[in-house]
Amino acid sequence: MSNALRPRIGVNKDTQFFWDGLKQGKLLIQHCQACDQLQHPPGPCCKHCQSFELDAIESTGRGTIHSFVRMHHPVVPPFESGHPIVLVELEEGTRLIADFINSTPDQVFIGAAVKVAITECDDEVTLALFEPASA
Amino acid sequence: MSKITISGKSAIVGIGATEFSKRSGRSEMRLAVEAVLAACADAGVDPSEVDGISTYTMDNNPEMEVHRLIGGKALKMFSRIDYGGGAACGPLLQAAMAVATGICECVVVYRAMNERSEYRFGTGVADRGADPTYETAAFGWHSPHGLITPASWVAMSASAYLHKYGATTEDFGRVSVGSRAMAAENPNAWFYQQPVTLEDHQNSRWICEPLRLLDCCQESDGAVACVVVSDERAKELNHKPAYIRGAAQGACDDQQSMTSYYREDITRLTECSLVADQLYRQAGIGPRDIQTAVIYDHFTPYVMTQLEEYGFCQRGEAKDFLRSGEHLLTGSLPINTHGGQLGEAYIHGMNGVAEGVRQIRGQSVNQVDNVQHVLVTAGTGVPTSGLLLGAEN
């Protein structure tokens, strides 16, 4: 891997809890106290019932690949050509995009079981990367 | 209940464009002015009559400056439409509403850019700074993981589409081959006289699997402008009017900008269905009444999705539509007869609007017979828009 830094995360008052959670080793999902629904990406209110009474639950970090790509061009360090990026559907039902690590090509397919690998990429950026469930 | 409609109350009466290139060698403002003046001349209206302007938020040329430079006297409406190429038909909706309501008499829309020579969209968004805006936070869900380009954002949905419907990347290739065949006949197209084969498509390099180079539109320098006036005025001008029978925008279903990965079915472009429903209702017609269409083609997979969402085939059956060649000049719905953005140029969809007008006039290099209605669509994956042009109002 190159020493180049990844693109920066975007943190604001609606999303701070998510990034703080990762720094504590937790993958959080925004939860509505009024209607009990989950949502990701998070926002200032619940998209289902418009309540502002929100907190978060900790995800198990387990899920499946809902879709995936292999990024070839342009090559932007630290990413390597052909690296897989997945859309994970968590057990809890929400989805997120993740760089897929520690995998062989035959482990990247729709429906594959995956698990989170919370990774401190640099001083500022800790990400929920994912890897094969068997890794 | 009174029925308020814009359908048939205005028409595109002038189209103008610069050459399409990879390096215009001129300022974007000059491109904008050249295209607007050409469109006014084409229509036969004096540029000083222009009293309304609408363009894209991504256009770098302020309406007031374009208006000042063309000798405008009084600008009564200026507006901008967001979401990249999703805007494309939005300025025409603004124009149609302004003319139909009497706010304006002569509205110009334009898109002018040195996208290839001065700032390439395809390089992605990796170097965005950290700030607390909505947009930066939204990019932050994807770009730190390496999903940084428009091609990659589309590829994620395309991958799920292939899996769900058993389509193949050769089906994407059929879109590409079709557009390049059209462009090969168009002297204004960048890829004039340069058709490609399905084999060329399959041999082109990966950009972001499952998308190859020939699934991606060009990057271009150039400008296109259109002039819109009332249906009454249109009858007095130079050309057969292209009546605006429908114009609509759409965003829905957990909409995100290029990354609607959180909606129930990520293989759909639900916002296109929303636009389609409005267009057909406004015009009182259906997809069977359309003889040719300009289907926004920044990336080939979403051409397939649009064929379904706009009602030209059933969901998941775009592959069959393409395999039987229905999209070619000899098929039931020739699409992108100018060569599309894959073949002619990437002017953020405004060149597609101009081709829609040429098909109504009977002036396309790949003219379709007996054109009564043309559908023009806009950028997909983003909040989008559409336009339905008619030979009669």
Domain boundaries, given as residue ranges, for chain A: 10-58, 61-135
Contact of B176 with B214, CB cutoff 8 Å: yes
Residue in B128, B129, B141 closest to A41 by CB: B141
- Helices and strands per DSSP (H, E), number in chain B: 14, 11
| Other CB atoms within 10 Å distance of the CB of residue B74 | 11
Bond preceding residue B334 cis, omega within 30 of 0: no
| Other CB atoms within 10 Å distance of the CB of residue B199 | 11
Query: CA A126 → CA A4, A11, B146, distances in Å?
Result: 15, 12, 14
User: Using the beta-carbon criterion (under 8 Å), do A110 and B266 form an inter-chain contact?
Assistant: no
Give tens-digit pLDDT for B287-334.
999 999 999 999 999 999 999 999 999 999 999 999 999 999 999 999
Give tens-digit pLDDT for B168-214.
999 999 999 999 999 999 999 999 999 999 999 999 999 999 999 99
Rounded Cα–Cα distance for residues B328 and B326 (Å) = 6
Q: Which one of A2, A97, A130 would you mutate to disrupt binding with B, by most B Cβ within 10 Å of its Cβ?
A: A97
B45 token code pair: 């209206």
Angle made by CA atoms A108, A111, A114, in degrees to the nearest 5: 65
To the nearest whole Å, the CA of B304 is away from the closest chain A CA by 18
pLDDT of residue B1: 47
β-strands B373-377, B292-294: how paired?
parallel
Q: What is the ipTM of this complex?
A: 0.97
Return the sign of the alpha-carbon dihedral for residues B209, A101, A22, A4: negative
Cα Rg, chain B, nearest whole Å: 20
Return the exposure string of B273-293: e unless at least 16 CB atoms fall within 10 Å of the residue's CB, then b: bbbbebbbebbebebeebbbb
Decide if B56 is catalytic. Answer: no
User: Using the beta-carbon criterion (under 8 Å), do B209 and A70 form an inter-chain contact?
Assistant: yes
pLDDT of residue B2: 54
By the 10 Å C-beta count (0-12 exposed, 13-18 middle, 19+ buried), B27 is classed as middle
Q: What is the 3-state secondary structure (H, E, C) of chain A?
A: CCCCCCCCCCCCCCCHHHHHHHHCCCCEEEEECCCCCEECCCCCCCCCCCCCCEEEEECCCEEEEEEEEEECCCCCCCCCCCEEEEEEEECCCCEEEEEECCCCHHHCCCCCEEEEEEEECCCCCEEEEEEECCC
Contact of B230 with B9, CB cutoff 8 Å: yes
User: Using the beta-carbon criterion (under 8 Å), do A6 and B144 form an inter-chain contact?
Assistant: yes
To the nearest whole Å, the CA of B12 is away from the closest chain A CA by 39
Contact residues, chain B, for A9 at CB < 8 Å: 130, 140, 144
Mean pLDDT of chain A: 96
Report residue B118 CA to chain centroid gap: 21
pLDDT of residue A1: 56
Q: Which CATH class is domain A61-135?
A: mainly beta
CATH of domain B10-119+217-390: 3.40.47.10
Note the pTM of the prediction, 2 decimals: 0.97
Strand partners, B126: none
Average confidence (pLDDT) over B223-252: 98
Contact residues, chain B, for A110 at CB < 8 Å: 159-160, 163
Average confidence (pLDDT) over B351-358: 98
Contact residues, chain A, for B253 at CB < 8 Å: none
Residue in B143, B206, B262 closest to A7 by CB: B143
Rounded Cα–Cα distance for residues B3 and B244 (Å) = 17
Give tens-digit pLDDT for B240-284.
999 999 999 999 999 999 999 999 999 999 999 999 999 999 999
Domain ranges of chain B: 10-119+217-390
pLDDT of residue A50: 98
Contact of B196 with B176, CB cutoff 8 Å: yes
Contact residues, chain B, for A72 at CB < 8 Å: 205-209
